[in-house]
């Protein structure tokens, strides 16, 4: 921490010294949990998107919906990547059982120029106060089962940090985000 009088605090992978952008928050209970652990929310910006639309006739296993989820995540990686510090990370927490594993999050990240640094089991009880919520306007205030849930941690690919002549890029993104977190499952598009 820059301020020597303030002690750095951690919760799981996240530190009060990180600059964190949270995307796709439901009821903000995840960001509230981090803020409580840090003793402040000064190092984070938490966002959500209120969506009314829901494709009632589509089921999660339908290929058209899987494709829509993939397009959304691919677009998300593309924008999030532009905001990262060289040593920054993009975290996506998502289920790894069928049909969610058909989203192929790792492949989408790879295509976006990211590489997998780590994949760790996500346990809700490690985040006191966090309540996962459905999105959209169908049962939107209800939980869903967190089966086979993992947090994927992605970093910029080394090649993305090189200039065309192979020399390293030292300039960092202007927004200086060290961590972008999103907990997604059953995204509403």
Residues at the interface with ligand SAM (CB under 6 A): 23-26, 30, 48-49, 51, 72, 132-135, 183-189
Taking the complex as a whole, how short is the minimal distance between the CB of residue 103 and ligand SAM, in angstroms?
A: 13
C-beta nearest to ligand SAM: residue: 135
Select 88 or 135, whichever has its Cβ closest to ligand SAM.
Answer: 135
Helix (H, G, I), strand (E, B) or coil at 161: helix
Select 53 or 166, whichever has its Cβ closest to ligand SAM.
Answer: 53
**Structure token pair of residue 70:** 């993939």
| 8 A C-beta contact, residue 52 and residue 188 | no
Tokens 């967190």 label which residue?
Answer: 146
Taking the complex as a whole, how short is the minimal distance between the CB of residue 24 and ligand SAM, in angstroms?
A: 4
How far apart CA 132 and CA 97 sit, in angstroms, is: 17
Taking the complex as a whole, how short is the minimal distance between the CB of residue 151 and ligand SAM, in angstroms?
A: 11
């Amino acid at each position: 921490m820059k301020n020597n009088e303030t002690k750095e605090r951690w919760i799981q992978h996240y530190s009060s010294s990180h600059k964190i952008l949270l995307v796709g928050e439901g009821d903000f209970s995840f960001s509230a949990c981090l803020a409580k652990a840090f003793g402040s929310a000064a190092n984070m910006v938490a966002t959500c998107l209120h969506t009314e639309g829901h494709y009632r006739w589509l089921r999660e296993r339908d290929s058209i919906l899987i494709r829509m989820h993939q397009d959304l995540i691919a677009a998300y990686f593309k924008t999030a990547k532009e905001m990262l510090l060289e040593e920054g990370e993009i975290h996506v927490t998502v289920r790894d059982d069928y049909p969610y594993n058909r989203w192929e999050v790792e492949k989408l990240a790879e295509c976006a120029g990211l590489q997998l640094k780590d994949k760790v089991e996500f346990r809700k009880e490690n985040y006191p106060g966090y309540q996962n919520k459905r999105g959209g306007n169908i049962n939107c205030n209800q939980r869903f089962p967190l089966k086979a849930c993992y947090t994927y941690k992605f970093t910029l690919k080394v090649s993305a940090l090189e200039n065309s002549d192979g020399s390293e890029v030292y300039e960092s993104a202007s927004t200086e985000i060290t961590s972008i977190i999103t907990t997604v499952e059953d995204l509403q598009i």
